[in-house]
Amino acid sequence: MTSAARQLRFASVTDVIQRLDPSYPVFCIFPDILKTRARSFVEGFPGTVLYATKCNPHPYVLKALSDAGIHHFDTASISEIAKVTELLPEAHCYFNHPVKGRGALEAAADVYGITDYVVDHPDELDKVISIAGTDITIEVRIATPKGKVVYDLSAKFGAAPEGAVTLLKEASRRGCRTAIAFHVGSQCLDPDAFRVAMEMAMRVAEEAGVKLEYLDVGGGFPAIYKSNVPPLQTYFDTIAAARERLGIEVPLFAEPGRALVAEACSVLTQVHLRKGDDLYINDGIYGCLSEIRDGDLDPPVRALTKDGKVEGELRPFRIFGPTCDSLDVLKLPFYLPENIREGDWVEFGLMGAYSIGMQTGFNGFITDTIVRIDGMHEDFAF
Q: Same structural domain for residues 225 and 355?
A: no
Q: In the prediction, which pLDDT does 379 show?
A: 67
Q: Same structural domain for residues 309 and 352?
A: yes
Q: In the prediction, which pLDDT does 114 show?
A: 98
The sign one gets for the Cα dihedral 224, 225, 226, 229 is negative
Please tell me the total count of domains within the chain.
2
Domain, as residue range, for 168: 46-255
User: What CA–CA distance (Å, rounded) separates 360 from 283?
Assistant: 11
Q: In the prediction, which pLDDT does 185 show?
A: 87
Q: Same structural domain for residues 24 and 116?
A: no
Query: Do the Cβ atoms of 61 and 352 come closer than 8 Å?
Result: yes
For residue 38, being part of any structural domain is answered with no
Q: In the prediction, which pLDDT does 5 show?
A: 41
For residue 247, being part of any structural domain is answered with yes
User: What CA–CA distance (Å, rounded) separates 205 from 232?
Assistant: 27
Q: Same structural domain for residues 215 and 237?
A: yes
Phi, psi of 291 (to 5 degrees): -75, -15
Rounded to the nearest angstrom, the gap between the alpha carbon of residue 380 and the centroid of all alpha carbons in its chain is: 20
Q: In the prediction, which pLDDT does 293 show?
A: 64
Q: Same structural domain for residues 118 and 9?
A: no
For residue 382, being part of any structural domain is answered with no
Q: What is the pTM of this model?
A: 0.92
Q: In the prediction, which pLDDT does 225 show?
A: 82
Q: Same structural domain for residues 203 and 286?
A: no
For residue 20, being part of any structural domain is answered with yes
Q: Same structural domain for residues 77 and 221?
A: yes
Q: Same structural domain for residues 113 and 175?
A: yes
User: pLDDT by residue for the chain (382 residues), tens digit each?
Assistant: 444 344 578 999 999 999 999 999 999 999 999 999 999 999 999 999 999 999 999 999 999 999 999 999 999 999 999 999 999 999 999 999 999 999 999 999 999 999 999 999 999 999 999 999 999 999 999 999 877 767 666 678 899 999 999 999 999 999 999 999 999 988 899 999 999 999 999 999 999 999 999 999 999 999 988 667 899 999 999 999 999 999 999 999 999 999 999 999 999 999 999 999 999 999 999 999 998 866 668 899 999 999 889 999 999 999 999 999 999 999 889 999 999 999 999 999 999 999 999 999 999 999 999 999 998 776 664 4
Active site residues: 324
Q: Same structural domain for residues 187 and 284?
A: no
CATH of the domain at 179: 3.20.20.10
Query: Do the Cβ atoms of 363 and 249 come closer than 8 Å?
Result: no
Query: Do the Cβ atoms of 281 and 269 come closer than 8 Å?
Result: yes
CATH of the domain at 14: 2.40.37.10
| Secondary structure letter of residue 122 according to DSSP | H
From the list 139, 281, 299, the residue with the least C-alpha distance to 224 is 299
User: What CA–CA distance (Å, rounded) separates 332 from 314?
Assistant: 15
